[in-house]
């Protein structure tokens, strides 16, 4: 599989937007690849391991999903991906030049992905305090994307301490700032937390974006996010809890292109002129020129010299050195002064 060369890793989150339909899941893979994403992310779980039969749906799940369903179990059961389907989807990802990724919610789900040699694993925000799961993950040398919704700095530290107690290395962990409200309001995105995480943890920091639109993700990259994760769907009108907050394929493509442009625009930390700027220097800078006709042996004064473009003569910064000097020849109005 040909690798995309880029700095910011872009995760197109299909999540459960496949609605349990393998054909729809494949369509999502194809669209994510066409948009230029590095990864497409699904979810690996068994409903019976994830929730109790009596656990009710979150408010956003009730609002955006089947309103007749009350229990999470009933909803999640339809979105399960078994090993056979996951293998099919991973192969289809390979075929379409995009990496497969999945969130895991329990040890059994992780073990399933481990049997198919999946090296990238997503730890969702919901599992940041799941000690048994985190301790199990620490035994495996994998690369982990860790979302941090509904968490504090201390909780993130505790999570990292568990993960790093085994074979996991710090540079194999990507910490993603996240707000676990769906959709996240702009005044609650708190993108400055990206800087907070950068100052507290010596690993790559990213952003899992649950807001509407692409502004949050683009701004996160400008703030230094090295990973961006964003929901997307084939059709926002489809049933499911995440469809309405997801990007369409065209919106995903626009987000990816915008992020790549932002990457280029960040450039260097050195404040020096670029090559293309220097081409314009002579045309937009100024020189000291004759304000009026000046005769030989006249003194240069405030009345007979000024500054005008182009910048091919003496710099205006040498103004005080020119003032008071004698003209060594005649200068016509607008001609560049020489001393």
pLDDT tens digits along 113-171: 999 999 999 999 999 999 999 999 999 999 999 999 999 999 999 999 999 999 999 99
Residues 174 and 90 in one domain: yes
Domain boundary among 266, 300, 327: 266
Q: Tell me the β-bridge partners of 44.
A: 104
Residues 156 and 298 in one domain: no
**Whole-prediction pTM value?**
0.87
CATH number (domain holding residue 293) = 3.90.1210.10
Residues 73 and 208 in one domain: yes
Domain boundary among 266, 287, 309: 266
Residues 245 and 336 in one domain: no
Residues 43 and 172 in one domain: yes
pLDDT tens digits along 179-190: 999 999 999 999
pLDDT tens digits along 2-28: 444 458 999 999 999 998 899 999 999
Backbone angles phi, psi at 300, to 5 degrees: -75, 125
Peptide bond into 310 cis (omega under 30): yes
Residue 85 belongs to some domain of the structure: yes
Peptide bond into 183 cis (omega under 30): yes
How large is the C-alpha radius of gyration of the chain? 29
Residues in the chain: 339
For residue 323, the enclosing domain spans 271-339
CA separation for the pair 80, 311 (Å, rounded): 68
Contact 61, 241 (CB under 8 A): yes
Torsion of CA 53, 56, 57, 59, to 10 degrees: -170
CA separation for the pair 270, 273 (Å, rounded): 9
């Amino acid at each position: 599989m040909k690798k995309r060369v880029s700095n910011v890793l872009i995760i197109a989150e299909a999540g459960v937007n496949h609605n349990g339909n393998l054909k729809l899941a494949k369509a999502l893979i194809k669209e994510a690849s066409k948009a230029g994403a590095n990864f497409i992310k699904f979810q690996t779980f068994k409903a019976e391991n994830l929730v109790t039969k009596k656990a009710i749906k979150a408010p956003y799940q009730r609002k955006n999903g089947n309103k007749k369903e009350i229990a999470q179990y009933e909803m999640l059961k339809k979105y399960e991906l078994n090993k056979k389907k996951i293998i099919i989807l991973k192969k289809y990802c390979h075929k379409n030049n995009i990496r497969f990724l999945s969130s895991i919610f329990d040890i059994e789900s992780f073990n399933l992905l481990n049997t198919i040699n999946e090296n990238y694993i997503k730890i969702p925000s919901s599992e940041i305090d799941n000690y048994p799961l985190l301790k199990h993950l620490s035994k495996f040398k994998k690369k982990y994307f860790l979302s941090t919704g509904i968490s504090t700095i201390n909780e993130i530290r505790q999570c990292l301490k568990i993960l790093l107690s085994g074979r996991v290395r710090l540079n194999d962990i990507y910490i993603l700032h996240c707000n676990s409200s769906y959709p996240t309001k702009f005044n609650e995105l708190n993108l400055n937390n990206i800087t907070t995480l950068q100052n507290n943890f010596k690993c790559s920091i990213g952003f899992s974006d649950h807001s509407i639109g692409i502004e949050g993700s683009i701004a996160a990259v400008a703030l230094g996010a090295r990973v961006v994760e964003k929901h997307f769907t084939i059709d926002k009108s489809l049933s499911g809890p995440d469809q309405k907050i997801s990007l369409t394929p065209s919106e995903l493509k626009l987000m990816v292109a915008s992020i790549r442009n932002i990457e280029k625009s960040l450039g260097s930390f050195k404040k020096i002129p670029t090559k293309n700027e220097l081409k314009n220097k002579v045309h937009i800078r100024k020189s000291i020129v004759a304000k009026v006709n000046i005769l030989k042996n006249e003194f240069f004064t405030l009345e007979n010299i000024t500054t005008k473009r182009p910048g091919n003569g003496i710099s205006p910064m040498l103004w005080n050195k020119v003032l008071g000097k004698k003209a060594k020849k005649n200068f016509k109005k607008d001609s560049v002064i020489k001393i």
